[in-house]
Structure 1
Amino acid sequence: MEKVLIVEDSKVFARVLIRKIEDELFFDTSWASTYEETVYILEESPEQPDFFVAVVDLHLPDSPDGHTVDYLIAKGIPVIVYTGAFDEEYRDAIWAKRVVDYVLKEAPDSLDYVCNLVKRIYKNKYISILVADDSATLRRHVRRLLEVHDFSVMEASDGEEALRLLSRNPALRLLIAEYHMPGMDGLELTRAIRREHRKEDLAIIGVSASTEELLSARFLKVGANDYLAKPFASEEFYCRVTQCLDMLELVRKLKEASIRDALTGLYNRRYFFDAGKKFHSLALRDSMTLAVAMIDIDFFKKVNDTHGHKAGDEVLKHVAEGLSGRFRGSDIVARYGGEEFCVLAVNMNRQAALTVFDELRRSIERSRTRVDGASISVTVSIGVCCEPHKSLEEMLATADAMLYQCKRSGRNRVLAS
């Protein structure tokens, strides 16, 4: 189970951060108030959780010099430094350790910024980026920067190799292209890519140490999304990369509006059947495993009756956000109707499905929806079908039967066929 590690000696501040991450992002958290507790959680705790990111205060009672950051990075955990201390020289030293970011607690919107970083790091592991540069040293430098943020990274030493890699890996979302390369330079590479890939599908950032005044404009005119002059600061690099990826996501969301539920933003029922049937046919032909789940909010009518329909809508959106944040891009998460949702998960066997959906159930049970000062908690019942049957409709019917059993046996549980 992937979790967020909070390392913070202030109990009050840790509680605020934990509540925000669990309520808004639906991630489980573990909290350590000292370096010693951090080591215990990672090395001696019976659970042995898998942390995809850590939010760390620099100055702890038993580690005032930021040694905790070194320890976590050595463990391969991306680290967001979240501290009230600001010193330009010390800050540069922390950045040199290759942290995700250095965030000051004084900023009023810093909590929101940290939560966005946590969400971005979780998404990044599903995003592939290609670095095209004839210098192996510079490729390695950019690769290390990207891997700090948990991206999947590929390298190309020239434009021709970049085109070959792109043709073999259509899921690539960002290209970072050096201008000076032998054979095909960065401008020619960008021009060639734009014949096949639109800016809203694949982002390109041109980079160069050239002092040519109009080089940035030339890159933008042939189709690059952005341009970055070398040498660049790590913070600027991350901001440009994130900005490009955020724009791709925004465009994708606009394009998908017609196949999305207006209230929750999840796929609608029509899309679930259209796309789901294609997945089901592939599963029957290629022995790909599928899991289909029906999810229902327990006692949802009581929420509407007690708090009003506005609160009911907020609960639906809250649960939908928890669902969308838990599954991969290859899965289909949809609002089936009313307070029911459905999920089609690709290449997920029965045991994995039970684990994933039970983690989802517990995260929803633990989280809260806040509406006009009221804190509303709900639970969900989940029925899962892991047998392909003859059709998607039969899988849904089986999942619905499992859901009915959940309701009859007490709700707030997961049952799978």
Structure 2
Amino acid sequence: MSKRVLIIEDSKSVANTISLMIKEELGYHTTIGGSVKECAKLLLEFKGRFDVALLDLGLPDSNDGEIVDFVTKFNIPIVILTGSTLVEDKIKNKSKNIVDYVVKDGIYSFKYAISVIKRIINNEKAKVLLVDDSRTFLENTKELIERYRLTVFTATNGKEALNILKNNKDVKLILTDYYMPYMDGLELIRKVRKEYTKDELSIIVTSGVKDKNTASKFLKYGANDFLYKGFTSEELFVRINANIELLELFDELKNRANRDFLSKLFNRRYLFEYGNVLIKEAIHKNQKVFLALIDIDKFKSINDTYGHDIGDIVIKEVSDILQNHFNRGELVARLGGEEFCILFIDEDEKSIIDRLEILREEFQNKIFDIDKKKVNFTVSIGCSFKEDKDLDLMIKNSDELLYKAKEEGRNKVIYK
């Protein structure tokens, strides 16, 4: 479901400019109003289902921030639009739902508003670990960070933090104090960096120690950033955003290298590079590894009948279905052309057979509506349960079974 942004701004030119930028740069839906009254009507019409609200403070029927009070009732993240650099603390702290404010002074400020909206929505999937032996600091900082819709875990020392990280390997950011009992921040960073690189997990140190060498010491040991305690909420948000955005940039670059441009699945290079790593790890853990090959039946006929553009869309449709069916930790890749590969780790044979059969039946029964054309096709699947220690051999064995499925009339799952 596409995200939706509520814009309440009495200047139509400003509202339309921001709305257009949101649609073009983020692809989100926007809904515009110019007063508290119109805002109320829109909130009721959409049942409060907005992901972010951009609210102008200078509305004709809102003299003292009433618009904020009203929108807060619907628990929507709020970004304030203001014409003045003097944003009163009473407005900034009027609601826990206020994430940030933007001073309207041209296109650059609107671009900043867009970046805040994107950050708020992307943060729904991001996790932060906050480590400090002061429970007051933990509670206050947790409340601030949660305004950005981040999921926050807390720990009072390094040992607790490592246990949380062990059970939540998708934590993207750690904010840690220096001096703590049992394990201090420096030792925590040493241990974290043995498992996670700087482009996988970011670490910000928050310390009250004013020694000039403290920051450089932490940065040398693997911290990404340093904040002296007493920081403002704006400074905290800016640092958190910068670090998470940098991680997302790293992820994007990795995806470009590791993903097939058409299907968005992992590509052949990544399959052979990372697949062999997974196989070695599984063997070490005494886990079984199996591999299936999937091929679109008579794909050349699809291209010849409907054209290569439709053929490309068929590849994308198949990829989407594969990702929906196999999302339990399997490695799903496009080998090339119309052939796909699934690497199963630590899963029993019967479960794999059942799931592959369900997949085959879905393609058999599905009619795709592509560019006003009705397209249907089947797939053939070969799956080897022979336990090999090399990806090349696993692919060779599954390919022989796939060839057999084609020989026997296609639209079959052959396994051995």
How many Å separate the matches in 2 of 1:105 and 1:271? 48
Q: CA deviation at 1:260?
A: 3.3
Task: Give the % identical residues.
Answer: 34
Change (3 A) 1:404 1:248: closer
* 1:287-334 deviations in Å (ceiling 9; x for gaps): xxxxxxxxxxxxxxxxxxxxxxxxxxxxx9xxxxxxxxxxxxxxxxxx
Matches within 5 A, 1:312-323: none
Change (3 A) 1:142 1:272: farther
How many Å separate the matches in 2 of 1:270 and 1:210? 48
* 1:240-264 deviations in Å (ceiling 9; x for gaps): 11111111112222222222356x8
* Structure-1-length-normalised TM-score: 0.66
Matches within 5 A, 1:7-406: 7-42=8-43, 44-45=44-45, 47-87=46-86, 90-97=87-94, 98=96, 99-261=98-260, 267=264, 270=267, 337=312, 341-342=316-317, 343-344=320-321, 346=324, 390=357, 395=362, 401-404=367-370
Unaligned runs of 5+ in 2: 276-308, 327-353, 376-416
How many Å separate the matches in 1 of 2:179 and 2:201? 21
Work out whether residues 129 and 154 of structure 2, in 8 Å CA contact, stay in contact via their aligned partners in 1.
Answer: yes
How many Å separate the matches in 2 of 1:103 and 1:272? 44
Unaligned runs of 5+ in 1: 279-315, 317-334, 349-386, 410-417
> Secondary structure of 2:54's partner?
strand
How many Å separate the matches in 2 of 1:221 and 1:73? 43
Q: CA deviation at 1:109?
A: 1.1
Change (3 A) 1:388 1:54: farther
How many Å separate the matches in 2 of 1:396 and 1:178? 54
Q: Where does residue 339 of structure 2 map in the other structure?
A: none
Paired residue total: 309
Q: CA RMSD in A?
A: 3.3
> Secondary structure of 1:77's partner?
coil
Q: Where does residue 294 of structure 2 map in the other structure?
A: none
Change (3 A) 1:229 1:346: farther
How many Å separate the matches in 2 of 1:103 and 1:227? 25
Work out whether residues 268 and 336 of structure 1, in 8 Å CA contact, stay in contact via their aligned partners in 2.
Answer: no
Change (3 A) 1:134 1:188: same
Work out whether residues 313 and 370 of structure 2, in 8 Å CA contact, stay in contact via their aligned partners in 1.
Answer: no
* Structure-2-length-normalised TM-score: 0.66
Change (3 A) 1:49 1:3: farther
In the alignment, residue 33 of structure 1 is paired with which amino acid? G
Q: CA deviation at 1:347?
A: 8.0
Q: Where does residue 384 of structure 2 map in the other structure?
A: none
Work out whether residues 258 and 270 of structure 2, in 8 Å CA contact, stay in contact via their aligned partners in 1.
Answer: no
In terms of Rg, which structure is larger? 2
In the alignment, residue 180 of structure 1 is paired with which amino acid? Y
Change (3 A) 1:340 1:12: farther
How many Å separate the matches in 1 of 2:268 and 2:28? 27
> Secondary structure of 1:184's partner?
coil
* 1:374-407 deviations in Å (ceiling 9; x for gaps): xxxxxxxxxxxxx9652757656655x3235953
Change (3 A) 1:346 1:126: farther
Work out whether residues 173 and 202 of structure 1, in 8 Å CA contact, stay in contact via their aligned partners in 2.
Answer: yes
In the alignment, residue 267 of structure 1 is paired with which amino acid? K
Work out whether residues 120 and 148 of structure 2, in 8 Å CA contact, stay in contact via their aligned partners in 1.
Answer: yes
Range with greater deviation from structure 2 (100-109 or 155-164)? 100-109
Relative contact order, higher structure (CA 8 A, sep 6+): 1
> Secondary structure of 2:51's partner?
strand
Work out whether residues 368 and 374 of structure 2, in 8 Å CA contact, stay in contact via their aligned partners in 1.
Answer: no
